[in-house]
Amino acid sequence: MFLAVRELWFARSRFGLMGGVVALIAVLMVLLSGLSSGLVEDGVSGLQRLPVHGLAFDEETEVGSAFSRSRVNEEQLQEWRGRPGVEEAAFFGNLLVNARSDKDVPIDLALFGVEEDSFLAPETAEGEGLGRRDGLVVSQSAIEDGVAIGDVLTVDRLGTELEIVGALEDKHTYGHVDVAYLPLETWQEIYAGVTPEQEADPVVYTEATAVALRAEPDARIDHSTGDDEAGTMSLPLEETFAASPGYSAETSTLNLIKAFLYAISALVVGAFFTVWTIQRKHELAVLRAMGASTGYLVRDGLGQALVILAVFCGIGLGVGVGAGSLITGSGVPFLLEGTSVALAVVLLIVLGLLGAMAAIVRVSSIDPLAALGGQR
Let me know whether 123 and 174 are in one domain.
yes
Residues 86 and 202 in one domain: yes
In a domain, 226, yes or no: no
Mean pLDDT of the region 116-139 = 93
Residues 93 and 146 in one domain: yes
272, 358: one domain: yes
User: Please, which residues have CB within 8 angstroms of residue 97's CB and are 6 or more apart in sequence?
Assistant: 108, 109, 111, 155, 156, 190
Q: Report if residue 233 sits inside a domain.
A: no
Out of 201, 220, 239, pick the residue that ends a domain. Answer: 220
Residue 81: predicted pLDDT: 94
64 and 152 share a domain? yes
Whether residues 168 and 262 fall in one domain? no
220, 239, 274 — which closes off a domain? Answer: 220
pLDDT digits (tens, 9 = 90+) for 165-198: 999 998 899 999 999 999 999 999 999 999 989 8
Indicate if 117 and 64 belong to the same structural domain.
Answer: yes
207 and 58 assigned to the same domain: yes
Give the other-Cβ count within 10 Å of 242's Cβ. Answer: 14
Cβ count within 10 A of residue 213: 28
DSSP classification of residue 117: T
Residue 269 has pLDDT above 80, yes or no: no
Residue 372 has pLDDT above 70, yes or no: no
Q: Clarify whether residues 58 and 194 are in a common domain.
A: yes
Whether pLDDT at 366 is above 60: yes
Domain that holds residue 40: 1-44+248-370
Q: Are residues 59 and 194 in the same domain?
A: yes
pLDDT of residue 209: 96
Model confidence, pTM: 0.83
242 within a domain of the structure (yes/no): no
**376 in any annotated domain:** no
Are residues 172 and 283 both part of a single domain?
Answer: no
The neighbouring-strand residues paired with 180 are 111, 138
Pick 284 or 79 by higher pLDDT: 79
Give the total number of structural domains in the chain: 2
Of 36 and 285, the one with more pLDDT: 36
3-state class (DSSP) for residue 206: helix
Tell me how far CA of residue 134 lies from CA of 111, 123, 181, in angstroms: 13, 17, 11
Instruction: Flag whether 234 is in a domain.
Output: no
Whether 66 and 215 map to the same domain: the answer is yes
**CA terminus-to-terminus distance, the chain:** 30
User: pLDDT per residue over 251-263, tens digit each?
Assistant: 888 888 888 888 8
